[in-house]
Chains A and B, each alone.
Chain A
């Protein structure tokens, strides 16, 4: 494993730890999109079905199990423990995820390495991950103001995607490894994040600094 891949995985891990830590400290899930978190549960479960079919490494297995369990746990926290049901803000999370699911399914039926259930679900998980953050971004755009939690969380997720790009370059030249589906969907995802950071920077950071005397 190269340094970019490790840094990418660590950023991903960090983003989830930040989310869990903040929820449990504040005893609140305000500002977190339930829809995005449910999409991540679907992403991890459909992608890591290979836990049952092949063993890659202890690291790989542990990370996969962590991602599945933590994503389910976060949904549980939002839905039951620190429920947002009574909050008005919940209807800010009104992104039509049906389109994301349908689009990802369609894309996975067209683009896959083999027309088998496992391969289609794996491709589906890549497409879905590339757009899963959209409900969260929409929610943030609607409220206009992002708190530190969501900003830090999304920043770490963006960092994770950014590190995967030099990782692919490295692997292509060093190992001749090139996974065109992962690279293509990964690039879409990184573009979404960079677009978000650009808008966020323009609207929030610049607006905030211009307000200062």
Chain B
């Protein structure tokens, strides 16, 4: 399972 980048920046 691939590692997803956490997109919590604006």
Partner-B contacts on A (CB < 8 A): 5, 9, 12, 50, 56-57, 60, 63-64, 67, 113-114, 122, 164, 167, 177, 179, 181-182
CB contacts (< 8 Å) of B7 on chain A: these are 50, 122, 179
State the interface size on chain B (CB cutoff 8 A): 8
Nearest CB of B to A14, in Å: 14
Chain B CB count within 10 A is highest, among A50, A64, A179, for A179
Collect the chain A residues with CB atoms within 8 Å of residue B6's CB: 177, 179
Residues of B whose CB lies within 8 Å of any CB of A are: 2, 4-10
Q: How far is the CA of A5 from the CA of B9 in the complex (A)?
A: 8
What residue of chain B has the Cβ atom nearest to residue A12's Cβ?
A: B10
A121 vs chain B, min Cβ distance (A): 12
Per CB-CB distance, the 5 closest pairs between chain A and chain B, nearest first, are: A179-B5, A56-B8, A63-B10, A113-B5, A9-B10
User: Who on chain A is nearest to B6 by CB?
Assistant: A177
A64–B5 CB distance below 8 A: no
Residues on the B chain within 8 Å of A50, using CB: 7
Kindly state the separation between the CA atoms of A181 and B4 in the bound complex, as whole angstroms: 13
Q: Which residues on A sit within 8 Å (CB–CB) of B9? A: 5, 164, 167, 179, 182
Give A13's nearest chain B residue, CB to CB. Answer: B10
